[in-house]
Amino acid sequence: MLILAILSLTACHKTKADVDSNSVTPTPEEPVVKKYLVKEYYYGYPNEPIKVIEWNEDYSKINHISTYQNTYYQLDFDFEYYGNDSMQVTLSAPDTAWSMVIFTSYICHFDNSKKISKIDYYVNSVYQNSEQYNYDLNGKLVSIIDEEHDCGGRFVWDGDNVVGEYSLYSVEPAFTYEGFIDKYHQYSTLPYLLRSGDCYHGDYLTKPLWKNVCTYNSQQIYYEYDMDGYITLGCHVTLEGDTIPERCYEYLK
């Protein structure tokens, strides 16, 4: 199960859709107002949020994340920092939860630039495997590799956005992304790319691989934004033209 979870690095993303041929890659200027995601939930279900993020006072570190809160699938992630060298993420669930996890904790090791260099995974304090995080000269994450099992994934960037995800040895991308606009992705200010360990939901707990919003196909996806350009609502547009609200996002700054 562990190896399958690692191989799924590129397996739980939306596939490429038709894109607006007039869209261009935005310039990499910093946002005027920097906001931080604190809550994500399905429209109409704010009391059962998909994700709740608790930050420290200056939003430089995450203290706690809860996923699928107040449901049978709730998982909690506690973050403990050891200076600037490393942090430990510990998974737990309420006694009534049905949650199943691949690992129960992991330790992230930081390099001199405070980026993750390696993550060690554990089940009940027993070491399982490690993943190495590799960066280009611009500090962009270009690969995550489990050397022991000879597997992993690669990322291709255009500016501040990932435009392609590949499995370790593949020459064809598993997923591609186009049609970026100068609005801000809801995960853009999350500090780390971290796995969730959740057997029932997505592979990743946090996925800050895009600064900007990828529109895919404007006939299928519709977004609403706040005055600072951050997504507040994601909607699905049906073939009949009906707009169905799906996910809501709340921020602090």
Q: 3-state DSSP call for residue 115?
A: coil
Q: pLDDT (tens digit, 9 = 90+) per residue, 58-73?
A: 999 999 999 999 999 9
Answer whether 6's CB lies under 8 Å from 131's CB. yes
Task: State the Cα torsion 166-172-176-178 to the nearest 10°.
Answer: 130
Q: pLDDT (tens digit, 9 = 90+) per residue, 167-219?
A: 999 989 998 998 899 999 999 999 999 999 999 998 999 999 999 998 765 55
Q: Is residue 19's pLDDT more than 80?
A: no
